[in-house]
Amino acid sequence: MSTPSFTPQSPIGSGFGAETTAAEVIGGLDLTGKTAIVTGGYAGIGRETARVLAAAGAAVIVPARDLEKARANLHGLAGIEIASLDLLDPASIDAFAAWFLASGRPLDLLIDNAGVMAAPLTRDARGYEIQFATNHLGHFQLTARLWPALVKAGKARVVAVSSAGHRFSGIDFDDPNFERRPYEKWQAYGQSKTANVLFALALDRRGQGQGEGIRAFSLHPGAIMTDLGRHLTADDLKAFGVTLAADGSWILGPDSPFKLKTIPQGAATTVWCATNPRLDGLGGVYCQDCEIAVPSSGEGLRDGVHPWAVDPEAAERLWRLSEKLTGVAFLE
């Protein structure tokens, strides 16, 4: 493998911003002939991502655990195909990937979007903590199994949807599944979101030598009211400077670290990472507000990416741990 290039964690002057929508990002780009897979593509920002990619001409596959909900939510949207997948079930991941590979299609865009946030302690059948298992390990295995289709595309992108919540925690390599330490839901969420960023960093290094290059990106979509927040309590929201209106919507106080986005705005950075031509030849970086984010060593959840999430040594260590926990290795 040739020596991989390094993309600085530095803004490139995209011309977009926090209020840009996914449709505005994609503009008049024609994705006819491209194939995309969007996990979690039937709700929230995942649905908007799938909708916008399909509207631009891409053939979009939405893998779903709840097929009935997926069919209802995607009804009437052209260019979207639904298939069965449960990211907590290794056999389901393998079956979905085998089904896709058997179709012979190249995979131009893989959007690892599905996730769970701040869930109570739950374990999958292997005993792995559910946020780490869903948000990272399931997507690690899925990406590995789909690797031949990404290589076949010649020039592909993988996008890992992370969060500013990565700043809650780095990776506890000694106890990633909370088998010995007390469970804390925000540490677990932060660890899983840090894992998304580190995964993109390590994946990008490996993908550059494949065909015309498989490049990977991670991102923070912003604060958006979606189903992802179903486990949040009133105390959780208060801690983030959020109160609930009578209709259940969020009201952000002046001290909140967030600026609330609409769903079309929340999907914009994902679509930007997946399709923007200015990112050709770049990768391995964490993005927000349709731009490569700045590094940050500050506290809280404001702008930037924490150093522990862009540490190449930690990325390689996580890669080895992920291979061990899943029993899956990438073909290089």
DSSP codes joined into one string, 10-71: S----S--TT--HHHHHTT---TT-EEEETTTTSHHHHHHHHHHHHTT-EEEEEES-HHHHH
Task: List the structure tokens of 194.
Answer: 């840090």
Domain 22-231+262-326, CATH number (from 3.40.50.720, 3.10.129.10, 3.40.50.300, 3.90.650.10)? 3.40.50.720
Summarize pLDDT for 234-272 with one digit per residue, the tens: 666 655 566 656 665 656 665 656 677 889 999 999 999
- The answer to whether the beta carbons of residues 135 and 195 sit under 8 Å apart is yes
Q: Is 78 helix (H, G, I), strand (E, B) or coil?
A: coil
Task: List the structure tokens of 89.
Answer: 């079930």
pLDDT at site 118: 82
Q: What percent of the chain has pLDDT over 70?
A: 87
pLDDT at site 237: 60
Q: Where are the beta strands (DSSP E) in the chain?
A: 35-38, 59-64, 80-84, 109-112, 156-161, 214-220, 223-224, 242-244, 250-252, 260-261, 286-288, 291-292
What are the residue ranges spanned by the domains of the chain?
Answer: 22-231+262-326
Task: List the structure tokens of 94.
Answer: 């393998």
Per-residue pLDDT at 1 exceeds 50 = no
Of 129, 215, 118, 114, nearest in space to 161 by CA:
114
Q: Which residues are catalytic?
A: 189
Summarize pLDDT for 143-197 with one digit per residue, the tens: 999 999 999 998 999 999 999 999 999 999 999 999 999 999 999 999 999 999 9
Report which of residues 2 and 81 the model is more confident about: 81
- The answer to whether the beta carbons of residues 297 and 303 sit under 8 Å apart is no
Of 164, 178, 174, 91, nearest in space to 132 by CA:
178
Q: Is 304 helix (H, G, I), strand (E, B) or coil?
A: coil
pLDDT at site 69: 96
